[in-house]
Structure 1
């Protein structure tokens, strides 16, 4: 009997070393697992970075991958969580011709109804920013695509866990 494939958010707390991204990506590549999204940033502890990686795999694969990450010398700790165990969001930006903002009343309705923010407006273009779940961003993209999108970019997932993670104490000890 095969396990259920689910969306997992994998969090990896690391030292900030050159080449680590290549080794992390190689772990997925060797297992033929596609990365749906990847974000890296400073964590809550100075000098420690956090990778947030979204993959669609079974739980057994998630356990094995987390174990592989923890074998990397720069990795302090790695975790995996289901979507139900995390609070997450993504951000995106759209660049659209300015004339549409004034000539197409429907665009103003789309902006208002989707809780999208206008970042900048000039003679040639305006830029919209939206944060939310992937399906909300994709719905907005479909709505705006009708009018023509000059540029579109979406971030990877950022996430925190619903449960307390004891990582802060571990990272503080690592940092001392």
Structure 2
């Protein structure tokens, strides 16, 4: 598989909420030696239906094969794939930093302001910043803050909605009836 054909795809999987399904879905990627870049599970817009959002770097031929395998899982209602141009997406990062730096380092206040981050909590020992946006924005903020010392850091998986209308809502409504 040539690397020129690879790109990031977001796989959206609408499922019943069953134990063990995540293992079976991740095994589909594992068997093909495909690394999952990010993974998020959440409720969908339809009650009782879960949505998996998985990001992988792959070519279109193989993503189509994977979608076919995913849809063979009994609990899977429907699976879709989209490239990054077809979706609107966000990632969230949390940064834990020593509280004294908030007041002693004016540069940190500038970073917060310029990046549109928000302070989630402040106490005597630390403060927590939250930044949502594209991965590059979160990484840039990490790089800017790391020289001051980050006590803890975590980044979420990608969450996304499609730019085009999805027919899944009407499919799911008929599924629930």
Task: Quickly name the TM-score band, shorter chain normalised.
Answer: over 0.9
**Aligned-partner Cα distance in 2 for 1:104–1:92:** 21
Q: TM-score, normalised by structure 1?
A: 0.98
**Aligned-partner Cα distance in 2 for 1:61–1:141:** 33
Q: Does 1:28 align with 2:29?
A: yes
Cα deviation, 1:36-67, whole Å, max 9, x if unaligned, reads 00000000000000000000000001100000
**Aligned-partner Cα distance in 1 for 2:176–2:148:** 51
User: 1:15, CA displacement in angstroms?
Assistant: 0.1
**Aligned-partner Cα distance in 2 for 1:175–1:150:** 46
Residue of structure 2 in register with 1:8 after alignment: 9
Residue of structure 1 in register with 2:69 after alignment: 68
User: 1:98, CA displacement in angstroms?
Assistant: 0.2
**Aligned-partner Cα distance in 1 for 2:93–2:136:** 12
Mapping of 1:77-156 within 5 angstroms? 77-156=78-157
**Aligned-partner Cα distance in 2 for 1:168–1:154:** 29
State the SS of the aligned residue for 1:127.
strand
Residue of structure 2 in register with 1:157 after alignment: 158
User: 1:92, CA displacement in angstroms?
Assistant: 1.0
State the SS of the aligned residue for 2:90.
strand
Cα deviation, 1:77-123, whole Å, max 9, x if unaligned, reads 00000001001010111000000001111000000000000000000
Q: Which runs of 4+ in 1 moved over 6 A?
A: none
**Aligned-partner Cα distance in 2 for 1:99–1:160:** 39
Unmatched runs of 5 consecutive residues or more in structure 1: none
User: 1:18, CA displacement in angstroms?
Assistant: 0.2
User: 1:165, CA displacement in angstroms?
Assistant: 0.8
State the SS of the aligned residue for 1:44.
coil
**Aligned-partner Cα distance in 1 for 2:93–2:176:** 34
Q: TM-score, normalised by structure 2?
A: 0.98
Aligned length: 176
**Aligned-partner Cα distance in 1 for 2:81–2:130:** 29
